[in-house]
């Protein structure tokens, strides 16, 4: 016979919230339990009434075999418990001793039904369901002992119930939040019982800490004392140890994600195993092996998909119960999603960067001197791969390099959006633990660095003989030197000033290094642009062949004067320094091309302009327009 699996915590929580307890209506909930109990008994073929009379049929270890038998015992216990809570409210208003005795009798009936379920569950249910039944029985018993003012027995039952429920949730229960929601009912019992027992430090500790402290110090190794109030204590402890024994599935990772110097804990064993496998593939993967790369990408996509599913399941539970444990779990799954997104973005950026560098090297654009760059730009193959075979298929050139860097910038922009979206789902403690703000700043700095490279190779493409757009090339190089490089340098310097420890991924995961460009890489990009700037500036002198004679004889190049227009205090500060002019060139601002530059230097006669405007406003046409749209 297959073992029965039944989520007791979810069943009880949903029943209570859907049938009266959301409004603290215990009478309505008791009526639901009584009515539904008759329906379930009929389905389980355990009816207790017929036209012939009454025949008592109980659930026993001999006839229990399905989830219906679990429901019968739960509904019996819940019916008695709801009646006890209803009577307790009545007793709080009247304070009649008979009503309090009735409360105790109903709680004893609830404990009896729950104890029967806990006793027979190991015979036909799986280990998790059996332990959940034991935890439910202990919760009921703690309330009974609390009502009888048996403080030590109440604290024993509540502490053991807390340990069992917490262990079930940590073992990978899909309803982690619901399990902890059930434990919130034990908080006042634990606090008051600990106060009555004079537990040290109980006044300033949380109920969870009190329960764990009491279990570790007063229940472990004291089976003789605890067995007097909890006869099944030895069996429950053995089942707990068996459930908590490390297995091949969870011993390696233990439900924790170590990332960026911090630790994120979560409940799903399935997700833990997937993260562990993906991290192993990441460390062993090579950029030269496409099969390993595909396997690694698929593994991290699976991690992200599972984390989203777990987050969605926890969000559904959030609609039923809002607890601190649920908030922590939602934040943890969001952090795992962010981890998957960051690694996948880093892999994409690395692959695109390697592709761009390979194409640039094939095209011969990776020169180290101005003379070599000048010779490369003057050659017929600039901007395209070097190949002697004219019949060979066309290979990607510098245009494809620019496309690769554009894709990198798109990936980084998408990463920034993802970080912003995920950061809103994280608790402040988790944000500090994994330094999410530093992730966003690193992505911004990386985007600025790749913008430098993109504009540099775009400038070389414009300066190649196939395009011959030298002025555009010069403008792009000037933007790299005057804007892109200083911006990237400033962003990198801001990251360095924060005095934060570097990400552990930089040492253990080489794929993530391209997300944090170093000052040396930015300096190399700046040197390349500064080297190309005078070369391309020389190509801007003229377009005819005779004006390019200096290419073969650099000494014949025309002398140029500096362009001082952009340095004037009256012009906007972001006017790029595009080109230098010859000595006989006169700078004349012409509308509309240079109107914005010339406007600050023009002395307009504003009085005459205002007088003309007033004259036009008093005309017949101006009156008509004013009547339609309103006068000034």
**pLDDT band, residue 117 (cuts 50/70/90):** very high
Task: Kindly report the CATH number assigned to the domain that includes residue 201.
Answer: 1.10.3450.40
- 215-224, 256-265, 307-316, 387-396: least confidently modelled range: 387-396
Give the residue from 526, 556, 586 where a domain finishes. Answer: 556
Residues 206 and 341 in one domain: no
How much is the average pLDDT of 1-18? 85
Is pLDDT above 80 for 390? no
Structurally, the chain folds into a number of domains equal to 2
- Are 234 and 331 found together in one domain? no
Q: Which residue has the higher pLDDT, 195 or 537?
A: 195
Task: Specify the pLDDT at position 582.
Answer: 56
Nearest to 62 by CA among 141, 128, 124: 124
| pLDDT at position 257 | 85
pLDDT at site 508: 40
Question: pLDDT-derived band of residue 50, with 50, 70 and 90 as boundaries?
Answer: low
Which of 374-383, 491-500, 621-630 is least confident? 621-630
Given a cut of 70, whether residue 49 has pLDDT beyond it is: no
What pLDDT does 439 receive? 86
Beta strands in 317-374 (DSSP E): none
CA 87 to chain centre: 47
Query: What mean pLDDT comes out for the span 156-169?
Result: 87
pLDDT band at 171 (very low <50, low <70, confident <90, very high): low
pLDDT band, residue 263 (cuts 50/70/90): confident
d(Cα 489, Cα 602) in Å, to the nearest integer? 37
In this model, does residue 419 exceed pLDDT 70?
Answer: yes
- Given a cut of 50, whether residue 355 has pLDDT beyond it is yes
CB-facing half-sphere around the CA of 71: CA atoms within 13 A: 20
> CB-hemisphere CA count at 13 Å for 103?
20
pLDDT of residue 72: 94
> How far is the C-alpha of 553 from the C-alpha of 298, rounded, in Å?
57
Q: Say how many C-beta atoms besides its own lie within 10 A of residue 538's C-beta.
A: 20
**Sorting pLDDT into bands at 50, 70 and 90, what band is 554?**
very low
Average pLDDT of the segment spanning 489-514: 61
Give yes or no for residue 69 having a pLDDT over 80: yes
What's the distance, CA 509 to chain centroid? 19
pLDDT score of 136: 94
Question: 426 and 505 share a domain?
Answer: yes
Say if residues 199 and 125 touch (Cβ distance below 8 Å): no
d(CA 460, CA 477): 9
Buried-state track 250-269, b at ≥16 Cβ within 10 A, e below 16: beebebebebbebebebbbb
Co-location of 206 and 336 in the same domain: no
Domain-embedded: residue 263: no
For residues 178 and 291, state if they share a domain.
Answer: no
Q: Residues, the chain, total?
A: 632
- Whether 475 is covered by a domain: the verdict is yes
CA 596 to each of CA 238, 384, 409, 563: distance values in angstroms, whole numbers, following the listed order: 83, 39, 31, 17
Predicted local confidence at residue 264, as pLDDT = 86
Residue 585 falls inside a structural domain: no
SS3 197: coil
Q: How many CB atoms lie within 10 A of CB 343?
A: 25
417 with 476, same domain: the answer is yes
Task: Please write down the long-range contacts of 568-574, taking CB distance under 8 Å and 24 or more positions apart.
Answer: 568/601, 570/600, 570/601, 571/597, 571/600, 572/596, 574/483
214, 324: one domain: no
pLDDT at residue 27 greater than cutoff 90: yes
250 is a domain residue:
no
With respect to residue 630, please indicate whether it lies within any of the assigned structural domains.
no
299 and 185 part of one domain: no
pLDDT at 1 over 90: no
Q: Which of 211, 163, 204 is nearest to 190 (CA)?
A: 211
Q: Give the C-alpha separation, 180 to 166, whole Å.
A: 7
Of the candidates 62, 78, 64, which has an alpha carbon nearest to the alpha carbon of residue 28? 78
Q: What is the pLDDT of residue 325?
A: 67
What pLDDT does residue 28 have?
Answer: 95
Q: Determine, yes or no, domain membership for 425.
A: yes
Q: How far apart are CA 291 and CA 525, in angstroms?
A: 32
Q: Is the pLDDT of residue 157 over 70?
A: yes
Please indicate, yes or no, whether residues 199 and 306 belong to a single structural domain of this protein: no
**Which pLDDT score, from 0 to 100, does residue 561 have?**
46
Residue 102 has pLDDT above 90, yes or no: yes
DSSP letters spanning 450-500:
HHHHHHHHHHHHHHSTTT--HHHHHHHHHHIIIIIHHHHHHHHHHHHHT-P
Range from 426-440, 509-523, 556-570 that averages highest in pLDDT: 426-440
Report CA torsion sign: 497, 503, 504, 506: negative
Could you identify the residue written with the tokens 């390099």? 401
585's tokens = 């060139």
Higher pLDDT, 371 or 279: 279
Which value, to the nearest 10 degrees, does the dihedral of the CA atoms of residues 7, 11, 14, 17 take? Answer: -130
pLDDT higher than threshold 70 for residue 565:
no
Distance CA 334, CA 2 (A): 36
Same domain, 438 and 496: yes
CA distance 323 to 393: 63
For range 598-609, the mean pLDDT: 61
Q: Distance (Å, rounded) from C-alpha 18 to C-alpha 320? A: 10
Nearest CA-CA partner of 366 in 385, 380, 350: 385
Q: CA quadruple 428, 432, 437, 443: dihedral positive or negative? A: negative
Where is pLDDT greater, at 484 or 517? 484
> Element (H or E) spanning 320, and its range?
none
Helix (H) or strand (E) holding 127: helix 127-147
Bridge pairing between strands 256-259 and 49-50? unpaired
Q: Does 541 fall in a domain?
A: yes
| 595-599: long-range pairs with CB below 8 Å, 24+ | 596/572, 597/565, 597/571
Percent of the chain with pLDDT over 90: 23
Interval 270-300: pLDDT, tens: 788 888 888 888 877 665 566 678 888 899 9
Answer with the residue of higher pLDDT: 538 or 530.
530
Q: Give 258's strand partners.
A: 263
301 and 228 in a single domain? The answer is no
Last residue of a domain, one of 224, 240, 256: 240
Range picked from 60-74, 544-558, 573-587 for highest mean pLDDT? 60-74
- Examine residue 122 and state whether it is found in any structural domain, yes or no: yes
Query: What is the average pLDDT value for the chain, to the nearest integer?
Result: 78
* Gap between the Cα atoms of 460 and 476, Å rounded: 9
Judge if 222 and 328 occupy the same domain. Answer: no
φ and ψ at 560, to 5 degrees? -115, 155
In degrees and rounded to multiples of 5, residue 455 shows phi and psi of -70, -30
Give this prediction's pTM.
0.57
The C-alpha atoms of residue 5 and residue 125 are separated, in whole angstroms, by: 6
Over residues 148-173, mean pLDDT? 84
Give the residue-averaged pLDDT of 185-195. 90
State how far the alpha carbon of 584 is from the alpha carbons of 227, 558, 560, 561, 580, in Å.
Answer: 106, 12, 10, 9, 12
> Which residues constitute the domain of residue 361?
279-384+396-556
Last residue of a domain, one of 534, 556, 578: 556
Question: Is the dihedral angle over the CA atoms 317, 323, 329, 334 positive or is it negative?
Answer: positive
């Amino acid at each position: 016979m297959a073992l029965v699996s039944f989520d007791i915590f979810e069943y009880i929580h949903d029943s209570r919230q859907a049938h009266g307890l959301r409004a603290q209506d215990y009478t309505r909930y008791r009526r639901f339990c009584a009515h539904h109990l008759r329906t379930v008994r009929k389905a389980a073929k355990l009816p207790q009434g017929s036209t012939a009379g009454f025949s008592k049929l109980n659930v026993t270890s001999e006839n229990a075999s399905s989830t219906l038998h679990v429901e019968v015992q739960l509904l019996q216990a819940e019916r008695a418990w709801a009646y006890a809570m209803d009577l307790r409210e009545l007793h709080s208003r009247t304070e009649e001793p008979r009503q309090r005795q009735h409360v105790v009798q109903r709680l004893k009936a609830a404990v009896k039904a729950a104890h029967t379920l806990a006793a027979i569950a190991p015979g036909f249910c799986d280990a998790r369901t059996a332990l959940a039944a034991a935890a439910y029985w202990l919760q009921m018993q703690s309330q009974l002992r609390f009502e009888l003012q048996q403080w030590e027995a109440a604290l024993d039952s509540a502490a053991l119930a807390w340990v069992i429920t917490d262990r079930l949730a940590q073992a990978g229960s899909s309803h982690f939040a619901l399990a902890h929601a059930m434990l919130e009912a034990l908080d006042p019992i634990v606090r008051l019982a600990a106060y009555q027992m004079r537990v040290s430090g109980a006044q300033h500790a949380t109920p969870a800490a009190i329960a764990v402290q009491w279990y570790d110090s007063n229940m472990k190794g004291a089976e003789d004392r605890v067995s007097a109030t909890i006869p099944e204590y030895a069996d429950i402890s053995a089942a707990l140890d068996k459930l908590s024994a490390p297995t091949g599935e969870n011993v390696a990772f233990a439900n924790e994600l170590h990332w960026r110097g911090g630790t994120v804990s979560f409940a799903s064993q399935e997700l833990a195993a997937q993260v562990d496998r993906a991290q192993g593939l990441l460390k062993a993967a090579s950029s030269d092996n496409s099969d390993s790369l595909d396997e690694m990408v698929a593994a991290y996509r699976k991690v992200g998909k599972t984390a989203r599913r777990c987050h969605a399941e926890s969000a559904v539970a959030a609609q039923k119960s809002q607890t601190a444990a649920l908030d922590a779990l939602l934040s943890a799954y969001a952090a795992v999603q962010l981890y998957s997104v960051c690694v996948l973005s880093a892999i994409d950026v690395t692959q695109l960067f390697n592709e761009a560098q390979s194409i640039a090297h094939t095209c011969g654009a990776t020169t180290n001197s101005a003379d070599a760059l000048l010779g490369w730009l003057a050659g017929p193959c600039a901007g395209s791969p070097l190949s002697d075979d004219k019949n060979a298929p066309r290979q990607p050139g510098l245009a494809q390099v620019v496309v690769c860097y554009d894709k990198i910038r798109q990936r980084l922009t998408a990463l920034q959006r993802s970080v912003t979206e995920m950061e809103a789902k994280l608790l402040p403690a988790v944000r500090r633990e994994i330094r999410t703000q530093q992730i966003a700043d690193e992505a911004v700095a990386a985007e600025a660095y790749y913008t430098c490279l993109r504009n540099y190779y775009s400038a070389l493409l414009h300066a190649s003989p196939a395009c011959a757009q030298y002025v555009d090339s010069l403008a792009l190089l000037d933007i790299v030197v005057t804007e892109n490089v200083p911006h990237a340098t400033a962003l990198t310097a801001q990251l360095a000033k924060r005095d934060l420890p570097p990400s552990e991924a930089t040492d253990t995961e080489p794929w993530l290094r391209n997300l944090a460009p170093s000052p040396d890489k930015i300096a190399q990009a700046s040197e390349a642009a500064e080297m190309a700037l005078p070369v391309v500036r020389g190509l801007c002198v003229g377009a005819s062949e005779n004006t390019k004679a200096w290419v073969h004889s650099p000494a014949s190049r025309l002398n140029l004067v500096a362009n001082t227009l952009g340095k004037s205090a009256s012009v906007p500060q972001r006017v790029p320094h595009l080109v230098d002019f010859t000595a006989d060139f006169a700078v004349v601002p012409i509308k509309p091309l240079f109107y914005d530059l010339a406007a600050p230097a023009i002395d307009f006669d504003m009085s005459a302009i205002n007088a003309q405007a007033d004259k036009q406003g008093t005309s017949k046409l101006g009156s008509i327009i004013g009547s339609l749209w309103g006068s000034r």
